Amino acid sequence: MKKILVAVTGASAMLYTQSFLEMLEGEQVSVHGICSEAGEKVLELEGHTNSKSLPTVSEWFDCRDFTAAPASGSAAYDAMVVIPCSMGTLAAIASGITQNLVHRAADVMLKEKKTLILVPRETPLNRTHLQNMLTVHDAGAVICPPHPGFYFNPETLKEAALTFSWRLADQLGLEIKGRRRWRSTP
Ligand SMILES: Cc1cc2nc3c(=O)[nH]c(=O)nc-3n(C[C@H](O)[C@H](O)[C@H](O)COP(=O)(O)O)c2cc1C
């Protein structure tokens, strides 16, 4: 069973976080979570109440708790997904400044050469954002912007978000039941 760490930070589009975690429901994965303070605020503003109400996560860690398991490489997560990833968190990861448990856990994933996927959300992007993305890419992270596959002709935002969640599943090496692929039969 894969062990995945999900981090929620204070960028818009919590719809993607919800979709990703719903997709993992019932899959052979163990999911732990961390939510930044701004992440909690944006979750509330976008109508998802709070992190604890999100599906599939079996254990949440306090973002200020540097004694929590994800602060150490010995916790041995297979992958970490920061969804959504704010430009502030992106900058912290790019610079290696670990001011909260999300930053520290991401830093650990990079040093342990484990899968770190960032779902950055901002528009438009300034030079610093772009440079930080290149820096973390070169350090080993995967930059996966939340772009749905419109070629599946999704009819709702939820359906559109799911097409993106499938791409994250590919990155995690998970074969999701019902996952559609362009011009291929199940
Ligand atoms: C409603 C709302 C939406 C926001 N959307 C974004 C966003 O899309 N991208 C971003 O980088 N920051 C966004 N922010 C700003 C971040 O929340 C802010 O920079 C925060 O300090 C990020 O902290 P964190 O990275 O620890 O979560 C948003 C803030 C609010 C209140």
DSSP string, 45-58: HTT---GGGSSS-S
pLDDT at 121 over 80: yes
In ligand 1, the atom with minimum distance to the C-alpha of 86 is: 11
Average pLDDT estimate for 107-132: 98
In a domain, 180, yes or no: no
Share of the chain above pLDDT 90, in %: 93
Q: How many domains does the chain have?
A: 1
In a domain, 181, yes or no: no
In a domain, 142, yes or no: yes
In a domain, 179, yes or no: no
pLDDT-derived band of residue 148, with 50, 70 and 90 as boundaries?
very high
Per-residue model confidence (pLDDT) at position 186: 60
The sign of the dihedral angle between the CA atoms of 159, 8, 145, 110 is negative
CA of 113 to the centre of ligand 1 (A): 27
92 class by beta-carbon count within 10 Å (0-12 exposed, 13-18 middle, 19+ buried): buried
In a domain, 182, yes or no: no
151 class by beta-carbon count within 10 Å (0-12 exposed, 13-18 middle, 19+ buried): exposed
Q: Which of 42, 64, 128 to mutate to test the pocket of ligand 1 (most atoms within 8 A of CB)?
A: 42
Q: Is the pTM of this model over 0.75?
A: yes
In a domain, 134, yes or no: yes
pLDDT at 185 over 80: no
Per-residue model confidence (pLDDT) at position 47: 83
In ligand 1, the atom with minimum distance to the C-alpha of 9 is: 27
In a domain, 178, yes or no: no
Per-residue model confidence (pLDDT) at position 48: 78
CATH number at residue 77: 3.40.50.1950
In a domain, 2, yes or no: no
In ligand 1, the atom with minimum distance to the C-alpha of 88 is: 25
CA of 38 to the centre of ligand 1 (A): 6
* 51 neighbors 10 (Cβ within 8 angstroms): no
Rounding to the nearest 10 degrees, give the CA dihedral for residues 129, 135, 138, 139.
Answer: -120
- Per the model's pLDDT, the better-predicted residue between 113 and 48 turns out to be 113
Bridge partners of 64, per DSSP, are none
Mean of the per-residue pLDDT values of the chain = 96
* 114 neighbors 77 (Cβ within 8 angstroms): yes
Its domain, for residue 66, covers 8-172
CA of 29 to the centre of ligand 1 (A): 28
